[in-house]
Every structure is written in structure tokens, then in C-alpha cells.
């Protein structure tokens, strides 16, 4: 049994999946997970399909060094419209999502109500190779793989907020008078 970094409150209403030592860029996976966390599963799958079809970008928020700025980044409210289309990482992330959905179906959960409540990406140990440099030197040539874990939770139907009636507005002056404590004296 593998350990997840977070254990859900109600395990009966959750579905989990994880991938270890995946040979896809860690930084790409982190940004995809950041974009999809909190999304409905259908919306997240549509997002992945749109990225694979180059219809929308994955907005890069943390790892922005050398990331180009694209007009499609405006739709995701990316900082400075920084975004890319990480195809390989998106395919693997999408496969993990479909695996989590299949796990939810075997548990008997309603797939229309599933939401990504936890999506975490960690660095895996780098794959080390070497490249040959000038003057007979050898340099490192490492890949940056990733561990990914996703937890889907079946959301309950929203309950409408009850109407408490008219609100009493308190001015700053009234609030200050309530804070003031009278000490001593008869009045």
C-alpha cells in the first residue's frame, strides 16, 4: 500500500491515482497540476484535450524563466501571458486523470460530481547521462522526472444559504462607542 501525502476525510467518496518516476518534465507537470486543481474532472479533461490540440496554453506561474508570452495566455489569466503547450506531460497527466475516474467508477462514485481536490507533483531522482564537451571534457546531461499524485472527491450538492432577514448596519462611530469601556463614575 502506497502512502499519499494527504489522507482524505471521507475515503469512501474519494478516488486516488499516482505515478512515480515518470519521465516527463517536473516543471511542466507542476504547472498542469496547478492549473487543474479544483476543477471538475470533465472540465480538466477538456482542458488537457485543448492543450493537446494547441487551443489553450498551460499558464506558467512559478517556473517562468525563458517561457514565451502568447495571446492564448490571456484566457487563463497567466502572469504576463506566459504559457506553453507541454504535450508529453499533458498526455501523461490526462492518462492519470482517466485512471482516477476509472477507480472512482469501480468504487461506485458519480463521475459527474468528481472534483480534483488534491494534485501534487514532486521531483523524482534525475536520470543521469553524459554529454561530450570541447577539449575532451564531459558534462552532465540529466532529465528531471516527476512523481504525480491526484485525489478526486465526489462533491455534495450545494445547499442554498438561508435568508437571515435584514442586516443591521453599524457605523464606525457606533463600533468605536461599543469598544469604549467606561471606567468609574456614576454615569
Distance CA 1, CA 135 (A): 50
Whether the per-residue pLDDT at 112 is higher than 80: the answer is yes
Return the minimum-mean-pLDDT range out of 93-97, 114-118, 178-182: 178-182
| Mean of pLDDT values over 115-121 | 96
pLDDT digits (tens, 9 = 90+) for 138-163: 999 999 999 999 999 999 877 777 77
3-state secondary structure of 158: coil
In the prediction, which pLDDT does 160 show? 78
Report residue 1's pLDDT band, with 50, 70 and 90 as the boundaries: low
- Among the listed residues 119, 128, 103, the one whose alpha carbon sits nearest the alpha carbon of residue 48: 119
Q: How confident is the model at residue 187 (pLDDT cuts 50, 70, 90)?
A: low
- How far is the C-alpha of 4 from the C-alpha of 16, rounded, in Å? 9
In the predicted model, what is the mean pLDDT of residues 74-94?
90
Q: Taking 80 as the threshold, does the pLDDT of residue 185 lie above it?
A: no
- Please state the pTM of the whole predicted model: 0.81
- Give the Cα separation of 8 and 17 in Å (integer): 13
Amino acid at each position: 500500500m502506497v502512502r499519499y501525502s494527504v489522507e482524505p476525510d471521507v475515503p469512501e467518496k474519494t478516488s486516488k491515482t499516482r505515478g512515480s518516476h515518470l519521465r516527463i518534465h517536473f516543471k511542466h507537470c507542476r504547472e498542469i497540476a496547478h492549473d487543474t486543481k479544483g476543477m471538475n474532472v470533465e472540465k480538466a479533461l477538456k482542458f488537457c484535450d485543448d492543450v493537446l490540440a494547441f487551443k489553450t496554453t498551460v499558464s506558467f506561474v512559478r517556473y517562468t524563466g525563458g517561457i514565451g508570452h502568447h495571446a492564448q495566455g490571456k484566457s487563463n489569466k497567466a502572469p504576463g501571458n506566459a504559457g506553453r503547450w507541454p504535450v508529453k506531460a499533458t498526455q501523461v497527466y490526462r492518462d492519470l486523470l482517466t485512471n482516477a475516474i476509472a477507480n472512482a467508477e469501480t468504487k461506485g462514485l458519480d463521475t459527474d460530481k468528481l472534483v480534483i481536490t488534491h494534485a501534487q507533483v514532486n521531483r523524482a531522482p534525475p536520470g543521469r547521462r553524459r554529454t561530450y564537451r570541447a577539449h575532451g571534457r564531459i558534462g552532465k546531461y540529466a532529465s528531471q522526472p516527476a512523481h504525480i499524485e491526484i485525489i478526486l472527491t465526489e462533491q455534495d450538492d450545494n445547499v442554498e444559504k438561508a435568508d437571515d432577514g435584514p442586516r443591521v448596519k453599524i457605523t464606525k462611530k457606533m463600533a468605536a462607542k461599543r469598544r469604549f469601556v467606561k471606567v468609574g463614575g456614576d454615569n
